[in-house]
Structure 1
């Protein structure tokens, strides 16, 4: 799996390349890649929080 910021950077690069070349499809694909990376990062953050809560509740038993 790519580093945390690599997917966003790849998307930004595609977006900029699309803007420079006038390729709307590439620009849109870049924006989509960035949104997917952001959603994945948010999901990972939620998973980590839930794990932390679960771990803290397990210690209380």
Structure 2
């Protein structure tokens, strides 16, 4: 794999992790508006998962 291929994969992962966090935030908000505790909880979980992955990527980038 070339250096450019590595960078593209890294950017794709960053976008996917950010999208997961955004999706979680949207689910959480929709759950709050509709009164669905299940949807709120799923949204919080997705949001935390995406944010955690983003934090992990940032830590790997600092090495």
Per the normalisation by structure 2, the TM-score is 0.69
Higher helix share: 2
Distance 1:2 1:47 in 2: 12
| Structure number, greater radius of gyration | 1
Is the Cα–Cα contact under 8 Å of residues 18 and 51 in structure 2 kept in the other structure?
no
Q: Which has the higher contact order (CA 8 A, sep 6+)?
A: 2
- Structure 1's consecutive aligned runs of 4 or more residues displaced over 3 angstroms after TM superposition are none
> Where does the alignment leave 5 or more consecutive residues of structure 1 unmatched?
51-61
Number of matched residues?
50
> Where does the alignment leave 5 or more consecutive residues of structure 2 unmatched?
1-12
Match of 1:28 in 2: 41
